[in-house]
Amino acid sequence: MAPEPEVDSIPSKTSDSAVREEIALNDTLMRAIGIPFFGIAIPNLTGLFGNLTWSDPGYWLGYVCFIALAFCIWQGNRYLLFRTRQRFTWFDKPIEKLILLFMNNIFFTSPLTIAWICMWFKWAGFPIIKWEIVTTVTLVNVICVLFVTHVYETVFMVKEQQNDQVRNAQLQKAKAEAELEALKNQIDPHFMFNSLNSLSYLIDTSPPRARQFTEHLAEVYRYILSQKERTLVMVDDELAFVGHYVTLLQLRFGSALEIKQDLAGASTALIPPISAFVALENAVKHNEVSAGAPLRIDLTMDRDMLIVQNRLQPKRNLQPSSGIGLKNLDERFFIITGRRISVENNGRLFTVRMPLISTTSVTHNGIAML
């Protein structure tokens, strides 16, 4: 005869905040089993039926009486438990909560049980009230109520901890998404600034090349805008985008820039969007690109890696790089895939290796979604 968690939501306090959260536990089945169980078991175990047998009508009516008592004790203590949870938590006022639980259970369960059993003795026609039986039944009911109350307070605490974990996971996910969006947004202004400068130069020097530049710039920017809501894209799509960007670079630099591509076997892999673009832009930004010092960039595949490699020929009078571009790229990979990019500088070659993600990993492990 004990309280059960409420079917509907129950307000409670968390350990780190006074804001009440909703804890939803379904106790319908437990009550449907528990109330008849206690109503049948306790009178049989404590001798409440006396010399009544199954052939006596009062014996069967007694079960109705004791199941009704179990129902009243259960529902009453259930209500008191939920009221106590609204006022106190184990984290802010544990002593007050413990005292209130004991008082609620004892001072509700004991008087109700004593009155009910006394009425039973008179109604069933027993000559006297057997107070030792009344005392035993009352004690058993109080112990059962205290024990099951403890069990369900534990259930509530576990549920609260699970809710905290879910909430923390949601906060971490929201934080990661916000960081990823911020990293994506850092690409657009820098790229557009360089592109407009190049377009301005080509308009003055070569209008036909400027027209071509505009067409490919439109395709590049269309891709950037279309992929802003995605975390992973097919490598083939990324490489088609890179093709437009490479054309932009070659229209700008001509034979001063040579980009070699060896990308067999890339079609089944996934990669965070605009990744290869960032690595290529980094190479062009920090190295000399001129007729006297042509720059070669190699874009290759090696197992599960997309590799961008260039000869080191730093620009003259270039201020030390902050490394923000590759740092952002690394953070994007880590947020989305849990893996880092690899950056190597051996004094002659500068190499960026970006891990590719198989479609199987996305399907089975939920690394990210297209």
Each residue's pLDDT tens digit, 171-198 = 676 666 655 555 555 555 666 777 788 8
- Delimit the domains of the chain by residue range: 10-179, 186-365
Cα 81 to Cα 76: distance, rounded to the nearest angstrom? 9
> Any idea how long the chain is?
370
Are 2 and 148 contacting, i.e. CB atoms less than 8 angstroms apart?
yes
The whole-angstrom separation of Cα 145 and Cα 2 is 4
Q: State the alpha helices, DSSP H only, in 227-351.
A: 235-253, 275-286, 324-337
Question: Candidates 3.40.50, 3.10.620, 3.30.565, 1.20.1740; correct CATH number of 186-365?
Answer: 3.30.565
Look at residue 360 in the predicted model and tell me its pLDDT: 66
Residue 9: predicted pLDDT: 39
Whether 1 contacts 109, CB under 8 Å: yes
Determine the residue type at 296.
R
Residue-wise pLDDT for 213-226, tens only, equals 899 888 888 887 78
pLDDT of residue 278: 86
SS3 sequence of 79-142: HHHHHHHHHCCCCCCHHHHHHHHHHHHHHHHHHHHHHHHHHHHHHCCCCCCCHHHHHHHHHHHH
Contact call for residues 29 and 20 (beta carbons, < 8 A): no
Alpha-carbon separation of residue 152 from 2, 11, 182, 334 (angstroms): 10, 15, 44, 41
pLDDT attached to residue 369: 44
Do 108 and 80 form a contact (C-beta atoms < 8 A)? yes
How distant, in Å, are the alpha carbons of 17, 67, 160 from that of 87? 14, 31, 16
165: Cβ–Cβ under 8 A, 6 or more apart, which residues?
A: none
Task: Give per-10-residue mean pLDDT for the chain (370 aa).
Answer: 41 38 66 85 84 81 89 85 74 75 83 90 84 89 81 76 77 62 57 78 86 88 79 87 88 87 74 87 87 90 89 76 76 84 92 87 47
The pair phi, psi for residue 245, each rounded to 5°, is: -65, -40
Q: Counting beta carbons within 10 angstroms of the beta carbon of residue 279, is it exposed (0 to 12), middle (13 to 18) or buried (19 or more)?
A: buried
